[in-house]
Amino acid sequence: MRIAELQDVLRRTYIERDARRGPDATFRWMVEEVGELARALRDGDREAALHEFGDVLAWLTSLATLTGIDLEQAARRYARGCPKCAQAPCACAA
C-alpha cells in the first residue's frame, strides 16, 4: 500500500472523529500509542510491536491529514537517503 492510499483510507474512515477530537488530542493519542510501542519493544514482544507500529502509523497519518499534511510529500525528503548528506547509508558524523 502506498502512503497516499493509506492516508486516503484513514481519512475516509476517521476524519469526522478526528476533526471533533482536534489536532492536540489526536497528537496525545498518538503519543500514547508510541508509549505502547516502546513497551512492546522493551518486552521483546514482536506480535505486540507489529500491532503497535500499525497503531502509531495510523495515528500519525490521521494527525497529518487533520493538519493538512500530505505524508507522501513529507516522505520525499528521504527519497534519496539522508536529507542532510544525501547519502545512503548516511555519512553524517554521528
Question: Which CATH number covers residue 55?
Answer: 1.10.287.1080
* Residue 34 resides in a domain: yes
* Residue 84 resides in a domain: no
Q: What are the pLDDT digits (tens) for 2-18?
A: 999 999 999 999 999 99
Assess whether the previous peptide bond of 83 is cis (omega < 30° from 0).
Answer: no
Domain span holding position 47: 3-78
Element (H, E) at 59: helix 46-66
Q: Determine contact, residues 62/27, Cβ cutoff 8 Å.
A: no
* Residue 29 resides in a domain: yes
Q: Determine contact, residues 37/52, Cβ cutoff 8 Å.
A: yes
Q: What are the pLDDT digits (tens) for 38-54?
A: 999 999 999 999 999 99
State how far the Cα of 42 lies from the Cα of 75, in Å rounded to an integer. 27
* Residue 14 resides in a domain: yes
* Residue 32 resides in a domain: yes
| Grid cell at residue 43 | 518486552
Per the structure, the count of domains in the chain is 1
* Residue 86 resides in a domain: no
